[in-house]
Amino acid sequence: MYLEKLVSGQWTGTMNLTEPQAGSDLAAVRSRAEPQEGGSYKVFGTKIYITYGEHDMAENIVHLVLARASGAPEGVKGISLFVVPKFLVNADLSLGARNDVHCVSIEHKLGIKASPTAVLQFGDHGGAVGYIVGEENRGLEYMFIMMNSARYAVGMQGIAIAERAYQKAVAFAKDRVQSRPVDGSIKASAPIIHHPDVKRMLMTMRGYTEGCRAMASVAAAAYDAAHHHPDADVRRQNHAFYEFMVPLVKGYSTEMSQEVTSLGVQVHGGMGFIEETGAAQYYRDSKILTIYEGTTAIQANDLVGRKTVRDGGQVAKGIAAQIEATEKELTQNGSADALAVARRLTAARQAFVEVVEFVASNTKTNPNAVFAGSVPYLMLAGNVVAGWQLARSLLVAQAQLEEGVDTAFMQAKIVTARFYADHLLTKAPGMRDSIVEGADSVNALALDSF
């Protein structure tokens, strides 16, 4: 009744999870669903942050709503999932009466203002008609199939907006004339791209974006292999790898986008703080990416609990073994760039493994110590995996360069991988220290002293 028109785009859809008192803590969901004769339910409650929750750009809007059926247990185990259409659908698939779901306000946001989010009220006039998806009390399980897909997609949004900010910053840096180069190579004022610090900022933007894009691409390939490879063991291995990657793609790529879009404003200087240049919009818009579909801390909780502690860090250590194999390839390559990247990657991998062992060994006995460093662990893991993928790209680019393929592009890949290793991967050992040795200072201050 709904799926074909949703997939075609004839009807649009929404995900309704959040309520005023239930943000990340979905156990606090209060929306309720009362069963009716004939198998339908009457749904009552308030949902917030509903993207395109109301509009007239499609014939119908299909709301997927988390609510508690009558008699459901407390907590997340009592949540069910319901289809609640804006317009009821007749047996012949024609549209019927307007359902009892209404937009009561549009939220005023920091960014992404072209994407309206609505407060939706269900059931103010007798109850919104809803239909259960699957079985009662399994709603969160169903919703998380979409949530995991959305988390990957949000990571891609972070990469996309970072790329756009980089492109705009490069164009501005090549055009904006300010000051003579410090080396005297040009005797008059020159485009700011000649200045070393502007190059540093642009290379940071480029390195982060390319590293995260490579990480996300490898994760996507693993997802495909997990679903379609003929060998069951290979499918399982790729599934485990992809599941480990999801919080990294979502968490690291979106936090990265904040830094990249901020640097984009900085490259523009004062012009970046002026709305007309457009640089500030990327900075504002990217902020939501670290929040929705689970904040960075929620991604870190997932990385610690489900992806590291549950298997004693075995998947993480397996990834570290793959990284070590790449280090050997770099060493065998023998070029100055490959050897330099290998040295940085080795130090980063060792830091990663030490943190994995710390997390796996201490989460149950000293959870406050581990979760004080959970987001830094996520950032360390994302940094290392992105750096690993750029190291792999360096090897491919050098091989292509020797064959004379797209010389400028391949040289740029090599330089970007080297920059990432020298300037971004080098953060990993320090992050290891803050995670493994810094928990006490996170938790020490008396609450009244904050």
Q: And the tokens for 353?
A: 């493994």
One-letter amino acid identity for 139? Answer: G
Q: How far is CA 77 from the centre of its chain?
A: 26
In angstroms, how far is CA 143 from the centroid of its own chain? 17
**What tokens does 223 get?**
């997802």
CA–CA distance, 16 with 31 (Å, rounded to integer): 10
* Helices 314-333 & 232-268 angle (0-180, nearest 10): 70
- Strands 61-69 and 12-16 come out as parallel
**210 is an active site residue:** no
Please give the Cα distance from 393 to 344 (Å, whole number): 15
User: Is the distance from CB of 359 to CB of 316 less than 8 angstroms?
Assistant: no
What is the distance between the alpha carbons of residues 285 and 257, in angstroms, rounded to a whole number?
Answer: 10
Alpha-carbon 291 to chain mean position = 9
Long-range CB pairs of 195-202 (<8 Å, 24+ gap) are 198/173, 198/267, 200/423, 201/169, 201/263, 201/266, 201/267, 202/166, 202/169, 202/170, 202/173, 202/267
Region at 334 (left for phi over 0; alpha for psi -120 to 50; beta for the rest): left
* DSSP result, 264-305: HHHHHGGGGGSGGGSHHHHHHHHHGGGTTTS-HHHHHHHHHI
In a 13 Å sphere around the CA of 157, the CA atoms on its Cβ side amount to: 22
Pick the catalytic residue: 293, 327, 357, 402?
293
- Asked if 313 and 240 touch (Cβ cutoff 8 Å), the reply is no
User: 407: how many CB neighbours lie within 10 A of its CB?
Assistant: 11
Strand partners, 80: 67
Tell which residue, 426, 427, 408, 417, has the closest CA to residue 211: 417
H or E element, residue 31: none
Instruction: Give catalytic residues, as residue numbers.
Output: 293
